[in-house]
Amino acid sequence: MFLEITQQIHQWLLSLLPETAVPYVEMVLIAVVYLALFAVLGLFLVLLERRVAAWFQLRIGPNRVGFQGVLQTIADALKLVSKELVGIKKADKFLYNLAPYFVIITSLTALGLFPFSPYFQGFDINIGIFLLIALSSIGVIGILMAGWSSNNKYSLIGAMRSGVQTISYELSIGLSLLTMVLLTGSLQLSEIVEVQKNGWLILQGHIPAFIAFVIFIIAGTAETNRTPFDMVEAESELGAGFHTEYSGMKFAYFFLAEFINMFIICAIATTVFFGAWLSPFGITDSIVWLGPFWFMAKTFVLIFLMMWFRWTFPRLRVDQLLTLEWKYLLPINLVNIVLMAVLVWQNLIIQF
C-alpha cells in the first residue's frame, strides 16, 4: 500500500514538474513526513510519560485539557513557543544557540533509519545499526556544548556526567548489538528483519540473546539519561543539569529530543530483538500495511518498560554507575559474545 501511494505521488509529481526537480520535491515531502512523525511522537510520549508516571504513583495525572488530557502536551508546547528565550550575557552565544539543534537533529536523523514496514523506511543503508549507534551518541556532543556554553557550573557538571555516562555505556550498547549481529550476519536493518522471518532474534538466540537484550535495555536507559541513570539532570543536585539556562522553545527541543531518544533506543531494540514490523508468529505477515502498527506496538511495550524503570528505581551515584558498567555489564557482555559465537558456530540457534 505504501508502495502504491508513493508510486502514485511519484507519477503525479513527474507529470507536474521537470524530471530533475522531482527528487528534490520528494526529499522535502519525506522530510515533512518524518518531521510530522517526530512532532506527534514527541508530544504523545511526553503525555504518555506523565500519565504513566501518575499511575505508578497512585495519582491521576493530567486529565483536564481535552478528553482525558490528550491535548495537554499541545497546550504545553504552545505555552513554550510563546515564552521568551532568555539569553545569558556571559554565555558562548554561538555554541549556546547551536546546542539544541545539534541534539534534536541527531535524534531526527536516527528516526529516518527504522524499518517501520518493508516500504516505509527513510534510508536503508548497509551499515544501518552502526550508523544508529553513531548517531545516538552524537547527541551527547550537543549536551556537552549546552553545558559548556551556558557558563554555569551546574550545567557543566551535568554535561560532563553525561559525557562520562555515554562513553561508558556506548560500549555496552555496541557490544550487545554486536552479539545480535553475529546471528544476522548483516548490519543492514532490512536484512536483519529478513533474518527474523524464521523467528525473532530473541527466540533464535535464546539465552545469550536474552542476556544481550537485558544489557541493551539497561545501557539504553543510561544512554537516554533517564532515571535511574539521570545524573545529567539530577534535580536534587544540579538544578536542571545541562539545560538549566535554557528557556522556551530551546528547552523544549532538549526535552523533545530526550523523549525521541527513548523512542529510538526502544525502536532499535524492536528492530534487532523483536522483529521490527513482523507480527508475532506471522499471523498478519500477508497484510503489509499492519507493519507500522506492529512496530509501534512493540516499541511502546518497551517504552513502557523504560518508564517502569524510571518510576521504580532510585538514582545511582556516579561511582555506582561506573561500577555497574565496567565491572558487571562489560565482562558479562564479552562472555556473552563468545557464547553467541559458539552458538552460531555449532548451529544451536532455534529457527522455525
Residues binding another protein (CB under 8 A): 52, 54-60, 308-309, 311-313, 328, 332
Q: Which residue, 312 or 351, has its beta carbon nearer to another protein?
A: 312
Q: Which residue, 24 or 55, has its beta carbon nearer to another protein?
A: 55
DSSP letters, 270-282, are HHHHS-TTPPGGG
Q: Which residue, 34 or 309, has its beta carbon nearer to another protein?
A: 309
Q: To the nearest whole angstrom, how small is the minimum distance from the Cβ of residue 60 to another protein?
A: 4
Q: Residue 243, CB half-sphere, CA atoms under 13 Å: how many?
A: 23
Q: To the nearest whole angstrom, how small is the minimum distance from the Cβ of residue 258 to another protein?
A: 21
Contact 72, 64 (CB under 8 A): yes
Q: To the nearest whole angstrom, how small is the minimum distance from the Cβ of residue 59 to another protein?
A: 5
DSSP letter at 284?
T
Burial class of residue 6, CB neighbours in 10 A (0-12, 13-18, 19+): middle
Q: Which residue, 68 or 188, has its beta carbon nearer to another protein?
A: 68
Report how far apart the first and last C-alpha atoms of the chain are (Å, whole number): 28
Three cell numbers at 101?
539543534
* CA-CA-CA-CA torsion sign (326, 329, 334, 335): positive
Q: To the nearest whole angstrom, how small is the minimum distance from the Cβ of residue 89 to another protein?
A: 41
Q: To the nearest whole angstrom, how small is the minimum distance from the Cβ of residue 269 to another protein?
A: 18
Q: Which residue, 2 or 309, has its beta carbon nearer to another protein?
A: 309
Three cell numbers at 83?
515564552
Q: H or E stretch including 20?
A: none
* CA-CA-CA-CA torsion sign (12, 13, 18, 23): negative
3-state secondary structure of 120: strand
Among residues 252, 229, 239, the alpha carbon closest in space to that of 320 is found at 229
Q: Which residue, 40 or 338, has its beta carbon nearer to another protein?
A: 338
Q: Which residue, 55 or 281, has its beta carbon nearer to another protein?
A: 55
Q: What phi and psi, each to the nearest 5 degrees, are found at residue 117?
A: -160, 170
Q: To the nearest whole angstrom, how small is the minimum distance from the Cβ of residue 333 to another protein?
A: 13
Rounded to whole angstroms, the Cα distance separating 352 from 350 reads 7
Q: To the nearest whole angstrom, how small is the minimum distance from the Cβ of residue 54 to another protein?
A: 7
